[in-house]
Structure 1
Amino acid sequence: MHVETTVDINAGPETVWKLLTDVERWPDMTASIDRVELLDGPIALSARARVHQPKLPAAVWTVTEFDENRIFTWESRAPGVTTVAAHEITPANGTTRLRLTLDQKGPLAPVIALLTGRLTRRYVTMEATGLKAKAEAAAHPDR
C-alpha cells in the first residue's frame, strides 16, 4: 500500500519543521493520534517513539532518515508487514510544501491494506491538514 498527500502551508519551513518534529504534541494537531511517547529523546536518527492511534494497535517507530529542516523518515515493523512513513518539507514560493508518504511492504501488507487502507489514507490526510492549520496559526497569530 502506498499513501501520499501534499499540502502547501502558508508558513516558513522553520515553523513547519519545529511542529513536525515535536511528535509528542501531534495529538494537539490531529484526532488521528491519541498519544506519542518518545523512547530515546527528541526525534533524530535512530530515535524511537511509541505512537498510539485510534482503532490501531500502538506501534514503535524508529527514525531511519533525518535531515534537519528537510525530511525525517521512520519505520515500524510488525509480523508480516513493515510500514515506512516519510515527512518531507520544501520551501515553495513563500510557502512550505509538506509531503507525507506511507508505504507498507511484506507478505501481510495486502491484507493490512484491505483491513486498514481507508483509515490509513484518512489519517495521513488528517495529519497533513492538522499540521497545516497549526503552522499557519503559529505563523500568523493575528488572523
Structure 2
Amino acid sequence: MARVEASTTIRAPQEYVWELVCDVRRYPEISSAFTERVTYVSDGPVGKGTVYREYGGVGPMKAESEWVITEFTEPTRQVHEGDLGVMQPILTIELTPMGEETRLFQALDFELLPRVRPVGRLLEALFVKRTMQRGLDDTVGNVKRIAEREYEAESKRSVT
C-alpha cells in the first residue's frame, strides 16, 4: 500500500480546527484537489459510522465514491475509508494541541488497482503518488488558511 503524508501548524485552537475537519460538507473547499462535491448520507452529527459520498478524484480519474468514518476520537483523530472501485484509500486526520496552536497531520494510504497489483504499483510509482502528495499538501494548506482566517475573524468579532 502506498502512503503520502502532510502536516502543518495552525494558529487556532484544536477544538476550532476539529470543527472544520469534521464538516464533510466543506470538503470541496478544504480538499479542492480531490473533491468537487459531497453528499452527506448519514443522519445526525459526524462521528464513527458516518457515511458520505464524494464526487472527484485524482487528476483525470473522476468518479463518485463512498466514504465511511471508521475511527472517531474527538478531538484528536479520524479515519475515513473510501471505495473508488479502482482504489481503496484510507485517510487519517490527527490533531495535536500546542497551546493556542494545533498541529494537523494527514496521511493517505492507497492501493491502486488492487486486483491487478503489478500494473497498480507501476501507476502508483509513475503518476498517482506524486499527484496524491500534491493534493494532500494542498488540502493541509487549505485547512490552515481557512482555519486561521476564520478563527482570526471570529476573535476580532469577540473583542468588539
- Indicate if the aligned counterparts of 1:15 and 1:138 stay in contact, CA closer than 8 A: no
Residue 10 of structure 1 corresponds to: 11
1:137 paired residue number = 149
8 Å CA contact 2:95–2:104 kept in 1: the answer is: yes
TM-score normalised by length of structure 2: 0.79
Deviating more after overlay: 19-28 vs 5-14: 19-28
Q: Which residue of 2 aligns with 1:92?
A: 98
- Match for residue 48 of structure 2? 45
Return the index of the structure with the highest Cα Rg.
Answer: 2
Equivalent position to 2:67, from 54, 61, 68: 61
Give 1:31's aligned residue: 32
Unaligned runs of 5+ in 1: none
Q: Tell me the matched-pair count.
A: 142
Identity fraction in percent:
25
- For the Cα contact (< 8 Å) 2:8–2:104, is it kept in 1? yes
Structure 2 residue aligned with 1:110: 121
Q: CA deviation at 1:112?
A: 4.9
Question: Aligned to 1:16, what secondary structure does the other structure show?
Answer: helix
Runs of 4+ deviating beyond 6 Å: none
CA distance in 2, matches of 1:112, 1:75: 21
CA contact (8 A) 1:87 1:100 kept: yes
1:138, 1:91 → 2: CA distance? 18
Which runs of 5 or more residues in structure 2 are unaligned? none
| Cα distance in 2 between the residues matched to 1:27 and 1:17 | 17
Q: Residues 34 and 70 of structure 1: is their aligned pair in 2 closer, same or farther, counting only changes over 3 Å? A: same
- Preserved contact between residue 84 and residue 103 of structure 1 (Cα < 8 Å): yes
